[in-house]
Amino acid sequence: MTEFVSLSVDAGVGTIRIDRPPMNALNRQIQGELLAVSEEAASRADVRAVVVYGGEKTFAAGADVKEMASMSYADMAPVSRKLSAGLGAISTIPKPTVAAVTGYALGGGLEVALGADRRIAGDNAKMGFPEILLGIFPGGGGTQRAARLIGPSRTKDLLYTGRMVTAQEALEIGLVDEVVPADEVHSRSVEYASQFAAGPALALAAAKKAVDNGLDTDLRTGLDIESELFAGVFASEDAKAGMVSFVENGPGKATFTGR
């Protein structure tokens, strides 16, 4: 059982809920729970897409500074990779994922959101990496995922200044993909994720893997990865059903089983 992170499922969409009032500070316990719940979401056949949500008021205001304040290099060195794994756990789910961001998504909170495939933010969202103001910098994947998403120059601006960006600026620089009224964030995120609930799960997972793994290498190797994964989906029942349906009935009418 987990205390602060839970998984609920409705019509194929799993919601991973972070709930540690008042600000969802991401201590080591939550980092471990994010790993455990992400593994559960990945393994459950009834979960076809995932929304990660921190509640109506805030997504997550960052790592628990009180917990880290007394740590030395000797304390942090053996656990830093665990921190990165926990805050990046959403990225390991081989299914479409959406971060539903309301209020603050700062430091570790933004790193959790960056692990999702898509970020939908409320118009009240404030996002950034304030770690530099504490004399440190993001260590949960922020430097790498942000740079791949919005480029090195914009990422360095956020890292160096520690400033917060509004939802509108986040949209303009590509840090989020959509901005909606704050009270519609979760429902809109579920709506987006729901379109994949009856989709070809193996093809979706392969497409995600092709993009993610391809970004970590050169173009030629990325194309090889794509080719292997593309051939692999032809072993699925959904590929056969989808192509037969297209030939017989036209596009968009196939029924997929996820196998």
Q: Look at residue 122 in the predicted model and tell me its pLDDT.
A: 98
Contacts of 121 (CB under 8 A, 6+ apart): 101, 102, 105, 127, 167, 170, 171, 176, 178, 179, 180, 185
Burial pattern 193-203, b for ≥16 Cβ within 10 A else e, equals bbebbebbbbb
Question: For the chain, which ranges sit under pLDDT 50?
Answer: none
pLDDT of residue 187: 98
Calculated CA dihedral for residues 141, 143, 149, 151, nearest 10 degrees = -170
Identify the pLDDT of residue 81.
96
Catalytic residue IDs: 111, 131
What pLDDT was estimated at residue 63? Answer: 85
pLDDT of residue 234: 97
State the DSSP H helix or E strand holding residue 67, giving kind and residue range, or none if neither. Answer: helix 65-68
User: Is residue 233 classed exposed, middle or buried when 0-12, 13-18 and 19+ CB atoms within 10 A define those classes?
Assistant: middle
pLDDT recorded at residue 64: 87
Judge whether 124 and 156 are in contact, CB under 8 Å. Answer: no
What are 43-71's pLDDT values in tens digits?
999 999 999 999 999 999 988 888 999 99
How far apart are the C-alpha atoms of 78 and 166, rounded to whole Å? Answer: 35
Write down the pLDDT at residue 1.
Answer: 81
Domains recognised in the chain with CATH numbers: 5-194 (3.90.226.10), 201-249 (1.10.12.10)
* Residues comprising the chain, all counted: 259
**What's the maximum distance between 2 C-alpha atoms anywhere in the chain?**
66
